[in-house]
Structure 1
Amino acid sequence: MRTDRRVQVRWAPRTVAAGDLDGSPAGFGYPGITLTRYLGDHVVEETWIPVDDELSFADDEALVGALRTAWRWGQAAE
C-alpha cells in the first residue's frame, strides 16, 4: 500500500518581537525556509532553517542535513 508522503519547501522569513531599551516594540527579521512534511493532508512535521549570507559552516551542514532527511522521508513512500 502506497502512503502519500510529500515534502514542501518554501521561503518563510520569521520576525521575532522584542522590546527596545526604552520599552517600545521592536522586531528582528530572519530569512529562512520551512520544510513541511505531509502524510496525506496532515502535517507531520515542520522544520524552519535559517538561510542568510553570513551563515557558518555548521548552519550550512544543518541545511543540507535537513534537506537530505526530508528527501529520504519522502522517498520512503515509493
Structure 2
Amino acid sequence: MLDAVRLRAERRRQPGGIPSLAAGLGRIGVLGWQIVVPALIGLAIGRWLDHRLASGIFWTAPLLILGTGLGCWSAWKWIERQ
C-alpha cells in the first residue's frame, strides 16, 4: 500500500502526471466556451443580417452551423495541443 501511495505521489510531481479534478473541470470549461462562443457569434450575426434583410432565417441557420463547426474545430486543435 505504501508503495502505491509513493508511486502516485511521484506521478503527480512529474510533468504530465495525473491531473487534478480542478484541472480536468477547467479543461472541460475551456472546451465548452470554445464551442459555444463561436456558435453564439454566428447566431448573433445571422439574426442581425436576417433582421436587416428581412429574410426569415436564411442567414441565421447557416451561420449558426458555421460557428458551431468553427468552435468544434478550434476545440479539436486545442485538445491536440494538450
Tell me the TM-score normalized by structure 1: 0.36
Which structure has the greater CA radius of gyration? 2
Q: Which has the larger share of helix? A: 2
